[in-house]
Structure 1
Amino acid sequence: MADDALDAARADPKGLIRESFRIDGITLGECRTIFLDWALSLPDGVAPAEAMRAVLDLYAPDGAGGRRDHPMVTVLSEGLAAAARAPVRRGGRAGRFAQ
């Protein structure tokens, strides 16, 4: 159990994601605002994608009483999808001029 507490402490240091799941009627926009604050509060050395997976597993596991349709799940899923896309570096001439 102590390992779970440590994981939660590193993945959600301020408890922002946990609290977002407790707010009745929270909107997608409010979840995005909370997500930004959460992302900025991650400790050094914690990969955002790993933290997103951890908080999804902690606070919205599959079949957890309908939590998968919560707006924060949408925001976290969008974040994971964006993190999965490899960044494209455009250096040299291609980076300075449109093709």
Structure 2
Amino acid sequence: MARDPMDPKGLITESYRIEGITEPECRSVFLDWALSLPVGQEVPGAITEMVARYGGDNPDHPMTRVLREGMVSAAPARRRGGGDPDPATQGTSHNPACFAWVEFPLGW
């Protein structure tokens, strides 16, 4: 079976199959999923794809709520910290697409 580039580990797919999964568990799965996306994959676009695939058939599922929250809270990347950025070293230690937009609301 071919791997899905939008869900390489099958985490989102499996979360919808787990009976009784809770919203906090879905948040944990969501974070693992976001970190497992291929380098260069835009996380907001992947979230939109996952909602399109699963949200319509599962509007009250906790993962659908988590994904929708991710769509709302996704913000354009901002540089934090001081100094001039060095383009030669940017993006070499992690997938910046994952970390640039993840801002969890209070209470997570």
TM-score of the aligned structures, taking structure 2 as reference length: 0.66
2:39 matched to which residue of 1? 44
Aligned to 2:73: 82
Cα contact 2:15–2:29 (8 A) shared by 1: yes
Bigger helix fraction: 1
Distance 1:89 1:27, change over 3 A: same
Runs of 4 or more consecutive aligned structure 1 residues displaced over 3 Å after TM superposition: 85-92
CA RMSD, Structure 1 to Structure 2 (Å)? 2.3
Aligned-partner Cα distance in 1 for 2:30–2:64: 11
Count of matched residue pairs: 82
Give the 3-state SS of the residue equivalent to 2:4 in structure 1.
helix
- State percent identity of aligned pairs: 50
SS of the residue corresponding to residue 9 of structure 1 reads: coil
Q: Is the counterpart of residue 16 in structure 1 residue 11 in structure 2?
A: yes
Q: Which runs of 5+ in 2 are unaligned?
A: 83-108
Unaligned runs of 5+ in 1: 93-99
Correspondence list, 1:61-76, <5 A = 62=56, 64=57, 67-76=58-67
How far did residue 35 of structure 1 move? 0.4
Name which one, 1 or 2, has greater alpha-carbon Rg. Answer: 1
